[in-house]
Structure 1
Amino acid sequence: MGNKGDLSNFERGMVVGARLAGLSISQSAQLLGFSRTTISRVYKEWCEKGKTSSMRQSCGRKCLVDARRQRRMCRLIQVDRRATLTEITTRYNRGMQQSICEATTRTTLRRMGYNSRRPYRVPLISTTNRKKRLQFAQAHQNWTVEDWKNVAWSDESRFLLRHSDGRVRIWRKQNENMDPSCLVTTVQAGGGGVMVWWMFSWHTLGPLVPIGHGLNATAYLSIVSDHVHPFMTTMYPSSDGYFQQDNAPCHKARIISNWFLEHDNEFTVLKWLPQSPDLNPIEHLWDVVERELRALDVHPTNLHQLQDAILSIWANISKECFQHLVESMPCRIKAVLKAKGGQIQY
């Protein structure tokens, strides 16, 4: 309590009142809980200046970035979300009489609610596909978690040996994650990589099959007959299972369609939507594997090591992780309905 700035005007008035009531410095300090030095100083100031208000609020260094200058910085962010801290500081200082450093820029941005975050990657959904997504959501809005447990999800994914997407970061506030200026619609790719096909359901993780070259209809037919068929008949012996696949050209080939028709008494192919990775929970398992790869203490140096690492990570994904993704499907459907077929955040 010894600092001048620690006492409010009301507390200063209490000090003066106690002294005017005839209490000694020691008695005032004991009664009010302040130090004797504080009591003496405050009463002396009142005697000399005749007031109890503190001048503390006028002390200290003036803020370099006031409200008007914060609006200037906000406009810089809106123009270029991907600008680095150095670029923002340089652009802000242009034409300003008093320049600021990068530390001040960082502090100001945080005070304004901006943080450097990774953007959401989303497809540009056409009007036609928005209608299809909305129709799908309407048709499945009454599906419960128990219904979604009967779906086996599949996808093909590519993992790069050297990540060349640049790890793009943008400046955005917490509630701006789906703002159009905060979205990334394309993903750069480069370097050698491993392509895999995988599937899972609420019950268990399915097979993960490395694909040596581009997946064509003949290769996909082998995957369907050797992996999808035994998985579906084992997991859903009552023939109440649904197999999900996207609309890749090889998935819609005639030999594939004919094979599914021949086995339609064993399981059903779930008619899927274009441009809808946000509805497919297996996309999040891709993110899980990707993060685990980046977190490895020893990173793969060749494609064989990369493939082994992917297989190991896939085998160790927890049951709670992939079951939670399936259990999120009713919420995803509701989100699509709310967005009227538009992109959702998942």
Structure 2
Amino acid sequence: MGRGSPIPPMLRRKIVEQYQKGVFQRKIAKSLKLSSSTVHNIIQRFRESGTISVRKGQGRKTILDARDLPALRRHCITYRNATVMEITTWAQEYFQKTLSVNTIHCAIRRCRLKLYRSKKKPYLNMIQKRRRFLWAKAHLKWTVAKWKTVLWSDGSKFEVLFGKLGRHVIRTKEDKDNPRCYQPSVQKPASLMVWGCMIACGMGSLHIWKGTINAERYIQVHMLPSRRRLFQGRPCILQHDNARSHTALITTSWLRRRRIRVLKWPGCSPDLSPIENIWRIIKRKMRQRRPKTVEQLEACIRQEWDNIPIPKLEQLVSSVPRRLQIVIKKKRRCYTVVNMALSQLF
């Protein structure tokens, strides 16, 4: 038990039961990993009152009571990116009380809030948000069977990782200059460019090369063999993002000559493509396996690409309608907030 934390009723009941059986107080404290004074106080209270419940008003009073927590919660939700020090400064001025950072930490937890690392998402301006909303609304009626006819394709970059696992190190304040506590970084690590495609029932071919990709390379490594193998002559729709190599005149004319239907894609929308989850899975495996050379990195990528299970692919493709609903829901919520603000002004 931490210092100052209350003893649970079940633990107090065990102390009283062992005391009634004739067990010494020191032995009870040692078996339950409590201090002797804590065990003595609980037994003394049981002798005097015959109960194990804590008396009302016992213990140290909190600086911020239940009436102060709603205001603190509203401020934390309004300013989600504020530091604990900034919240502490605001709370001292607002509540007119002497508050420490630890007190605010505890109060934030009492508000059922917690500090998390921010999730990284692509920046979207108002035009891109509207295009995403209109695209999601236009494709919302597509069934899962329709989405299974889409050939999802994308490229990603993999780098050779250096150093130990994790971003944190356990050390003292004086060990900041200890070489064992450093996180090595490389200015330009060796990397590979990877391109692949997938559908709900299988993985397509995987192409790996060094350097960047242009329109000529993109045409050379395109998905025609994968398309024939996965769809076996059935019609399909190609999905790729709006990269320069995808929207180049050479690429669009090449796709038009082969009568390949392309799915119109909104900009800055990697969260709508299920193949992005495949890249995330493979990169997590690379952090676990830690390949040391480019050759090992390529072998690991190919191995993990072939090990993606079919049920995982079906689950990712089936989640596309739910992703569209989330986009529409967020856009409507934004419209509601704007309308409420305008109604308050006028």
Q: Which interval holds the TM-score relative to the shorter structure?
A: 0.5 to 0.7
* 1:27 paired residue number: none
For 1:35-68, what per-residue CA distance to the aligned partner results, in whole angstroms no more than 9, with x for missing partners?
A: xx9998559xxxxxxxxxx981111122244347
> 1:74, 1:340 → 2: CA distance?
23
Query: Does the Cα contact within 8 Å between 1:153 and 1:280 map onto a contact in 2?
Result: yes
Matched, 1:241 2:236: yes
Q: Determine the C-alpha separation between the residues in 2 that align with 1:150 and 1:235.
A: 10
Q: Which residue of 1 aligns with 2:28?
A: none
Confirm whether residue 121 of structure 1 aligns to residue 120 of structure 2: yes
Residue 305 (structure 2) aligns with: 314
Residue 215 of structure 1 pairs with residue 210 of structure 2: no
Instruction: Pick from 260, 266, 271 the counterpart of residue 264 of structure 2.
Output: 271
Cα offset, 1:231, TM superposition: 1.1
State the identity as a percent.
29
1:148 is matched with which residue? 147
Report the CA distance shift for 1:39/1:216 in structure 2 as closer, same or farther (over 3 A). closer
Match of residue 109 from structure 2 = 110
1:265-296 superposed Cα distances (whole Å, 9 cap, x missing partner):
xx4221222121121111112221222223x1
Separation (CA, whole Å) in 2 of partners of 1:273 and 1:313: 29
Aligned-pair CA distance for 1:190: 6.2
1:338 Cα shift?
A: 3.0
Assess if the C-alpha contact under 8 Å between 2:92 and 2:98 holds in 1: no
CA distance in 1: counterparts of 2:81 and 2:156, whole angstroms: 28
Alignment partners' CA distance in 2, 1:114 and 1:132: 34
Larger Rg: 1
**CA distance in structure 2 between the partners assigned to 1:82 and 1:337 by the alignment:** 29
Cross-structure match for 1:59 = 58
Whichever residue aligns with residue 214 of structure 1, its letter is: T
1:201 and 2:196 matched? no
**Mapping of residues 52-201 of structure 1, within 5 Å:** 56-67=55-66, 70=69, 71=71, 75=75, 79=79, 81=81, 83=83, 100=100, 102=102, 106-162=105-161, 191-192=188-189, 193-201=191-199
Rounded Cα–Cα distance in structure 2 between residues aligned with 1:275 and 1:342: 20
After superposition, where does 1:220-231 map in structure 2 within 5 Å?
Answer: 220-224=218-222, 228-231=223-226
Q: How does 1:327-338 map to 2 (within 5 A)?
A: 327-338=318-329
113 and 312 in structure 1: CA distance in 2 versus 1, 3 angstrom threshold: farther
Q: Is the 2:128–2:268 contact (alpha carbons within 8 Å) kept by the matching residues of 1?
A: yes
Cα deviation per residue 1:170-205 (whole Å; 9 max; x = unaligned)?
xxxxxxxxxxxxxxxxxxx96423321121110111
State the alpha-carbon separation in 2 of the partners of residues 155 and 55 from structure 1: 62
Match of 1:286 in 2: 279
| Separation (CA, whole Å) in 2 of partners of 1:111 and 1:147 | 47
In structure 2, how many angstroms separate the alpha carbons of the residues matched to 1:223 and 1:201? 17
Deviation digits for residues 188-235 of structure 1 (CA, Å, limit 9, x no counterpart): x964233211211101112222231111111111111xxx00111222
Matched AA of 2:279: W
Helix, strand or coil for the counterpart of 1:62? coil
Instruction: Give the Å deviation of 1:309.
Output: 2.5
Change (3 A) 1:161 1:136: same
Who is 2:227 aligned against? 232
Counterpart contact for 1:125–1:275, Cα < 8 Å: yes
CA 1:287–1:82 in 2, change beyond 3 Å: closer, same or farther? farther
Distance in 1, matches of 2:54 and 2:264, equals 72
User: Which string of whole-angstrom CA distances, capped at 9 and with x for unpartnered residues, describes residues 93-137 of structure 1?
Assistant: 9899756474x5554433222223332322232333333323322
Q: How does 1:1-12 map to 2 (within 5 A)?
A: none
> How far is 1:76 from its partner?
6.8
| CA separation of 1:63 and 1:94: change in aligned 2, threshold 3 A | closer
Contact 2:240–2:263 (CA<8 Å) still a contact in 1?
yes
Q: Which residue of 1 aligns with 2:39?
A: none
- Stretches of structure 1 that go unaligned for 5 or more consecutive residues are 8-36, 44-53, 169-188
One-letter amino acid of the counterpart of residue 59, structure 1: Q
SS of match in other structure, 1:206:
strand
Which amino acid is the alignment partner of residue 81 of structure 1?
N
Contact 1:118 1:167 in 2 (8 A): no
Structure 1 letter corresponding to 2:284? R
3-state SS, counterpart of residue 122 of structure 1: coil
Seen in structure 2, the aligned counterparts of structure 1 residues 235 and 204 have a Cα distance that, compared at 3 Å, is: same
Q: TM-score, normalised by structure 1?
A: 0.64
